[in-house]
Amino acid sequence: MWRAIKKTISGLTSFLLFTLLIVTLFAVISTQAADGEPNVFGYEIKTVLSGSMEPEIQTGSIISIQPTDNPAQYEAGDVITYTNPDDNLVTHRVHEVENGGEQYITKGDNNNSTDSEPVLAEDVVGEYTGFTVPYVGYAIVFATSDQGAFLLLIVPGVLLLMYSAFTIGRALRQIDAPHKEQKARENDLNQN
């Protein structure tokens, strides 16, 4: 019974370490390959670090946006991601469309008033698709930092190698045990 539990725990530990390593490796490589912005099936994954769109989009969530081909296509009520004058990405709802779609007045759902500056259509990156996963953004920001990459890539990799060495050593001891018993018996027979 105890041996079966140990075997299950061993397999689960290996699986979890390997999965963590692969997922983190995928996240870091896809982020680096896309110049810091992961791209999955043509949708860009963005991290939301403010509460201006709560409750629909929570702080620390990741969201999916559809990159735009026509930045003048949006209507009031659409949620767009755009680059603000400080060169930061912002995701807010279109409140009004001005100049035939050349600029937008935007507002965060959780803000009391519209944004102070209109958004030029050329600054629109894409439209929010409605897909959001709460709290994962915190993990992605951490994983793409230097400390996070070290902790989530190197540490699981080293743990996996150490665990593999331990497992191989244990298997070799189990293989070697019958040989040692055989030699001990032969020595006992030779001494008698």
Active site residues: 50
Going from the C-alpha of 70 to that of each of 24, 41, 122, 126, the distances in angstroms are 34, 19, 9, 9
Beta strand residue intervals within 85-185, DSSP E: 89-98, 103-107, 119-120, 124-133
Task: Read off φ and ψ for residue 114, nearest 5 degrees.
Answer: -70, 160
SS3 116: coil
Q: What is the DSSP string of 122-150?
A: GGEEEEEEEEEETTHHHHHHHHTSHHHHI
d(CA 70, CA 100): 13
Residue pair 18/159 in contact (Cβ under 8 Å)? The answer is no
Q: Which residues pair with 133 in a beta bridge?
A: 62
Dihedral sign for Cα atoms in the order 57, 62, 63, 65: positive
188: its two tokens: 């006992």
